[in-house]
A and B are shown apart, each in its own frame.
Chain A
């Protein structure tokens, strides 16, 4: 198992559980800590510390006898079934990759070097960049401009940018009310929970948010804090540039990103790659019509763990897996709303399709805020213990 985010950690646990601890699981993960992206926008809003979203893997390892290698994969040899790591080699019978997303800065040659974008955090993986963006907001003068650039879909967490706008607005409204948020959305409209976000922006943060659809950032002048779109040039005190995304580096290394050279095509009954049946890919890295959410990532892991156990028994995996998604977004420090759906495998379409009956909250509420926190505590407990 390469990668221990929501998908990878869940796969490791459930493959042990559902094989009655009969399958040896070795996890390779480059980070020592798990940081939850869900709730990390609240750090920007000022109502949460990042440390409250940062956890260790020790309980997961200990409780389930998962073998753990803190290292980085440098090469994959599918023919010899070997991984090369910085400090050694591992061989495997089945390989599962959950590398998350990688960021694509190729549209901006001026940002090719990491040092050129050191001042422009994407904060799209919770961690030090989240803290940097929060510090930049704290240092921003009252009357300043916060600019956020949203890439064309698909990307990790479709409601995430719009939730982030709520959180930044929540902070500015309290502490820097003369400030403004400029949203440069490469998409033609808000792509997730639109009526709920529109309402929150109007009711909670009137006059604070300037939303501009169809606005791709073409050039970036990092030192001058300037962005250029097809239509205009914008100066901002703080720039949150969220780049276009693709399957994480390990999937690229294995050459499995075969949809638009970005995402990995898999069989949704086993998450086996369409290019290499003994390599499974989970989570945000795959091509799928479903949102790239934590709940969906854990669902990929459940289906995959079941399929691996079935395949080891010489049986066929479940021909029609079903799972759900519940995704909460906070519109302030305590009110949240959701989108929820059930998805079922459709053999004719070879995709997971959306069942009737799902949808959005009627309105954001503090009751759903408590449910959202409860969701987080349960998914962390399920994934990490």
Chain B
């Protein structure tokens, strides 16, 4: 139920996704029709008229780098501190304290010292704008198929 709720909170999943698990199985496509299908997929216009995104790519790359420990857009899957919705001033003062060495850390001082002031501020804005409390999805473990390369 939690997972369904999480999905429903993301209306874009249904609004824009085109679900094709395996085009061959689904459509039973032959070699020729696959080529045609591929061509038509390319000819299709984007769902959105504009490719505009709110944040500069520099910030998106950096924020995504944080995701590896802190979760997508700061929504953490584990006990690790989530960054989504953290007030910008709090984010900035934490990162500055890590840089100065006044806040104990195992790893964050090493990351904070590699960033510029401007980058820290941009990340603070980015994460403060994410709504906190989203249920985070995790992939489920499964038995290994022995034909794996």
Q: Which residues in A have some Cβ–Cβ distance to B below 8 Å?
A: 14, 18-24, 26, 30-35, 50-56, 58-59, 61-65, 67-71, 87-93, 125, 127-128, 131, 295, 298-299, 302-303, 306-307, 309-310, 312-313, 317-318, 320-324, 326, 338, 340-344, 355-359, 361, 365, 367-368, 370-371, 373-375, 377-382, 384-385
Q: Which bucket holds chain B's interface residue count?
A: 35 or more
Contact A324 B114, beta carbon cutoff 8 Å = yes
Contact A61 B149, beta carbon cutoff 8 Å = no
B132 to chain A, nearest CB (A): 16
Q: Which residues in B have some Cβ–Cβ distance to A below 8 Å?
A: 7, 10, 12-13, 16-24, 29-31, 34-35, 38-39, 41-42, 44, 46-48, 50-53, 56-58, 60-62, 64-72, 76-80, 99, 106-107, 109-115, 119, 136-146, 148-149
Give the top 3 A-B pairs by smallest Cβ distance, nearest first: A342-B114, A357-B113, A65-B17
A119 to chain B, nearest CB (A): 17
Contact A357 B114, beta carbon cutoff 8 Å = yes
A183 to chain B, nearest CB (A): 28
- The residue among B16, B56, B68 with the most chain A CB atoms within 10 A of its own CB is B68
- The residue among B20, B29, B77, B114 with the most chain A CB atoms within 10 A of its own CB is B114
Residues of B within 8 A of A306 (CB): 57, 60-61
Contact of A340 with B111 at beta-carbon distance under 8 Å, contacts A322-B119, A375-B69, A378-B71 already known:
yes
In the complex, which residue of chain B has the Cβ closest to the Cβ of A383? B139
Q: Is the interface of B mostly helix, strand, loop or mixed?
A: loop
B45 to chain A, nearest CB (A): 9
Contact B61 A299, beta carbon cutoff 8 Å = yes
Contact A54 B143, beta carbon cutoff 8 Å = yes
B100 to chain A, nearest CB (A): 12
CA distance A59 to B17 in the complex (A): 12
Contact B23 A67, beta carbon cutoff 8 Å = yes
A353 to chain B, nearest CB (A): 11
Contact B61 A88, beta carbon cutoff 8 Å = no
CA distance A248 to B12 in the complex (A): 35
Contact A382 B61, beta carbon cutoff 8 Å = no
In the complex, which residue of chain A has the Cβ closest to the Cβ of B64? A302
A53 to chain B, nearest CB (A): 7
CA distance A187 to B140 in the complex (A): 38
Contact A91 B138, beta carbon cutoff 8 Å = no
A34 to chain B, nearest CB (A): 8
CA distance A32 to B47 in the complex (A): 28
Q: Kindly identify which residue among A67, A323, A344 contacts B41, using a CB–CB cutoff of 8 Å.
A: A67
Q: Kindly identify which residue among A90, A131, A359, A381 contacts B138, using a CB–CB cutoff of 8 Å.
A: A381
Residues of A within 8 A of B56 (CB): 318
Q: Kindly identify which residue among A19, A90, A131, A295 contacts B46, using a CB–CB cutoff of 8 Å.
A: A19
Contact B61 A323, beta carbon cutoff 8 Å = yes
CA distance A341 to B47 in the complex (A): 38
CA distance A70 to B29 in the complex (A): 13
Contact of A22 with B46 at beta-carbon distance under 8 Å, contacts A58-B21, A326-B69, A378-B77 already known:
yes
Residues of A within 8 A of B76 (CB): 374, 378
Residues of A within 8 A of B110 (CB): 340-342, 357-359
Q: Kindly identify which residue among A14, A342, A365 contacts B64, using a CB–CB cutoff of 8 Å.
A: A14
Residues of B within 8 A of A307 (CB): 57
